[in-house]
Structure 1
Amino acid sequence: MRASPSLALLAALSTVNADLHHLIVGTFGTENLYTLEFDDSALTLNLIGNLSVPDASSWLALSHDKKNLYGTAYSAASPAFVSYALGNATDITYSTTIQSGGNCTSSKAIFVMAATESPYAVYGSPFSGTADCGSVMSVDENGVLSELIQNYTYKSTSGVHGMALNAENSFLYSADDTGNTLWTHSVNKTTGELTYVASLDGPVTGADPRHVAVHPEGQYLYVILEGANELAQYSIDQSTGIPSFDNVTFPLIPSGEADSDYWSDEVALSFSNTYLWATSRSRSTNTTGYISAFSLSSTGNITSQLFLTPTTNSGGTANSVAPSTFSDKYVALTDSSLGFVEIWGFEGTNASVVARVDIEDGGCCANAVWYS
């Protein structure tokens, strides 16, 4: 795709040195991992790796040192999580699969994330069926998933779809989509195991928290409300770690559109933590989803919504946004309806597609993680 003149100028004037960057992409149905290469000078995106793996991964997460990749074993018969060793973005070696076990009897593992501080535990959640639980897994000295060390419970109606740790890895926050609840757990800094602290109902019935992010200053939690199609801001009590709703929300679909026609998806902080990204998906493949960005204060308070722009397609079950790890200027966006990954260029007051690669394998694309 040819970049627009304004985006080409943006790239030319960028203070970031031109470089090649790599992303790893999972799928919802096919047992493949894909590696993409983005050139931030030429503004091109190319498929450079296609690896057959034991299970499809609907969600991927990198270890703190990027030496391991963790995924949900989405195509497995029972909820499980998979671990890969990384030599580089295309040198990916299967290590092991860990079953959720215990009372985690859901049909699918839906989300996985890794701690950024020792003991570098990995946290996972199932979804659908009986999904009132979560899993904590240890890693060995090389960062490979080692064993299931804890099953913990939510409530009988729960279906947690996303989680986030604060910067100190002292609290974990869970977005309970089907239970319309936000959960707070404290983290044992020696084992990584969790202890229940508090739960909070969504702002309204049917708000349905889906994904969450925590500002590194630790004062604010951002929550995607899938059913209400809004981004909500919560303040975090600095002594207890418990969030409270600030009565602050921003729309993720245009005014006048029906909430029932959309389901909002993902929230993520930019490279510098100066901006926040969020997306919604359309339930119809004939209608686009939306992407939005927000400006943040130095402490994380949302100061304004910068834009709400249609995405290229509905998003399918994805429209998952992944800000780059090297610049505020670029974010990756995945689509599972047609099967593609796009790089969007951020111009401060809007964003548009600067590069795209199509991966039409029947299961791609779920989420993307930036390896470099």
Structure 2
Amino acid sequence: MRASTPVALLGLATAVMGEVHQLIVGTFGTEFLYTLEFDDQALTLDLISNMSTNAASSWIALSHDKKNLYGTSWNIPTGYVSYTLNNATDIVYDTNVTIGGDCQSSKAIFIMASSEPPYAVYGSPFGGTADCGSVMSVNADGVISGMQQNYTYSSSSGVHGMAFNPANTLLYSSDDSGNALWTHSVDQTTGELTYVANVSGPATGSDPRHVAVHPSGEYLYVILEGANELAQYSIDNATGVPSFDNVTYPLIPSDATSSSYWSDEVAVSFSGNYLWATSRGRATNTTGYISGFSLSTTGAITQQMFLTPTTSTGGTSNSIAPSGFSDKWAALTDSASGFVEIWELAANGSAASIVAHLDLVDGGCCANAVWYN
């Protein structure tokens, strides 16, 4: 297989055409990992591996070098799971780590890995007594070696997503249950976190769910699950603490009933020129929506480019994963009907459309996807 080589063009960054790319997909309720293959010239999406595991992972994340895969685990017991990636289809289970402490009654909902030494892995539980987070150490091979730190938020917290600043010196947590955004500093030797600040959501019931940071480090984008909006925050250069810019954009149509939707995910494109965001429909007769935004060189949102219905409600996912080699492609997962789609962004970012669709109906698929190459 040829390696994917990014080529910078004016406007939309694009990959050399004719490459084949692989994605790994996790599941909510079944114990599988799926590997898919996307041909960006033929515009086909195929299942090339279906690996049985001992954990259902509602969220998965790659290590900085893509030699390891980390996932949440709801069943062996509740905690986090670590795999070695020999390649996208040769995935070897290594170990699992329990949440432990006062949060062991909660279910792990999110996981991410630092791209800087010591390459610690970070997770958050949700539900139960989910007022804490987890920091896990890794060994020389990138395998999770143990629980480094259990830290607390507040008694009302339920963190659903996290994001680093570009240097991985600050970690931002979106507190869905506590309607807040948290900032922690990262110890560059141990990976442990220290509390810096807690900022309330824009309004009561806005419910920050997921967050993303622009590569410039100047802006933070927040999905407001309850308000069905995307919010823009500026990051203070001195303190690293975000502040609300009083800028929001709708993630559902203006004539839609907000209580019929719950917004989900936000992610920055490969070049940093665009932003993707999604919402989900709560009822079977509604669709979710996918939206795109243009960004300035510093990351300020300049325009909402489109708001387009997705194929179905999205279920509990409608998770968007932009490729790591081009602005052109993004993967969207759906747990209502159990499928993965590849969406293509127009050359000027003005629209997006489905170019490939793959059904993976197993009663638990699909959670989120990660691009292996």
The TM-score, its normalising length taken from structure 2, stands at 0.95
Query: What pairs up with 1:140-151 in 2 under 5 angstroms?
Result: 140-151=139-150
Once residues 16 and 272 of structure 1 are traced to their aligned partners in structure 2, the CA distance between those partners, rounded to angstroms, is 15
The residue number in structure 2 matching 1:203 is 202
Once residues 260 and 49 of structure 2 are traced to their aligned partners in structure 1, the CA distance between those partners, rounded to angstroms, is 35
Q: Secondary structure at the match of 2:61?
A: strand
The residue number in structure 2 matching 1:182 is 181
Please state if 1:226 is matched with 2:225: yes
Supply the AA of the counterpart residue of 1:186.
Answer: S
Once residues 293 and 92 of structure 2 are traced to their aligned partners in structure 1, the CA distance between those partners, rounded to angstroms, is 38
Change (3 A) 1:267 1:152: same
Answer yes or no: is the 8 Å Cα contact 2:76–2:96 preserved in 1. no
Query: What pairs up with 1:269-284 in 2 under 5 angstroms?
Result: 269-284=268-283
- CA displacement at 1:15 relative to structure 2: 5.8
Once residues 312 and 187 of structure 2 are traced to their aligned partners in structure 1, the CA distance between those partners, rounded to angstroms, is 42
Once residues 181 and 306 of structure 2 are traced to their aligned partners in structure 1, the CA distance between those partners, rounded to angstroms, is 27
The residue number in structure 1 matching 2:284 is 285
Q: Secondary structure at the match of 1:64?
A: coil
Supply the AA of the counterpart residue of 2:364.
Answer: G
Supply the AA of the counterpart residue of 1:63.
Answer: S
The residue number in structure 2 matching 1:129 is 128
Answer yes or no: is the 8 Å Cα contact 2:33–2:50 preserved in 1. yes
The TM-score, its normalising length taken from structure 1, stands at 0.95
Answer yes or no: is the 8 Å Cα contact 1:76–1:108 preserved in 2. no
Percent identity over the alignment is 71
- CA displacement at 1:359 relative to structure 2: 0.5
CA shift digits 1:110-157 (9 cap, x unpaired): 000000000000000000111000000000000000110100000111
Q: Secondary structure at the match of 2:102?
A: coil
CA shift digits 1:248-297 (9 cap, x unpaired): 00000000212111000000010111100000000012110000010001
Q: Secondary structure at the match of 1:103?
A: helix
The residue number in structure 2 matching 1:87 is 86
Answer yes or no: is the 8 Å Cα contact 1:123–1:137 preserved in 2. yes
Supply the AA of the counterpart residue of 1:181.
Answer: A
Q: CA RMSD in A?
A: 1.1
CA shift digits 1:216-238 (9 cap, x unpaired): 11110000000000000000011
Q: Secondary structure at the match of 2:263?
A: strand
Query: What pairs up with 1:9-88 in 2 under 5 angstroms?
Result: 16-78=16-78, 80-88=79-87
Once residues 307 and 105 of structure 2 are traced to their aligned partners in structure 1, the CA distance between those partners, rounded to angstroms, is 35
- Gapped runs of 5+ residues in structure 1? 1-13
The residue number in structure 2 matching 1:314 is 313
- CA displacement at 1:107 relative to structure 2: 2.9
The residue number in structure 2 matching 1:10 is none
The residue number in structure 1 matching 2:248 is 249
The residue number in structure 1 matching 2:8 is none
Supply the AA of the counterpart residue of 2:356.
Answer: A
Answer yes or no: is the 8 Å Cα contact 1:184–1:242 preserved in 2. yes
- CA displacement at 1:163 relative to structure 2: 0.2
Please state if 1:367 is matched with 2:358: no
Once residues 65 and 77 of structure 1 are traced to their aligned partners in structure 2, the CA distance between those partners, rounded to angstroms, is 27
Change (3 A) 1:15 1:167: closer
Once residues 208 and 76 of structure 2 are traced to their aligned partners in structure 1, the CA distance between those partners, rounded to angstroms, is 26
CA shift digits 1:55-88 (9 cap, x unpaired): 100000000000000000033443x100000011
- CA displacement at 1:16 relative to structure 2: 2.1
**How many residue pairs were aligned?**
359
Once residues 344 and 118 of structure 2 are traced to their aligned partners in structure 1, the CA distance between those partners, rounded to angstroms, is 36
Answer yes or no: is the 8 Å Cα contact 2:216–2:298 preserved in 1. yes
Supply the AA of the counterpart residue of 2:161.
Answer: G
Structure 1 segments of 4+ aligned residues over 6 angstroms from their partners: none
Q: Secondary structure at the match of 2:101?
A: coil
Once residues 27 and 226 of structure 1 are traced to their aligned partners in structure 2, the CA distance between those partners, rounded to angstroms, is 21
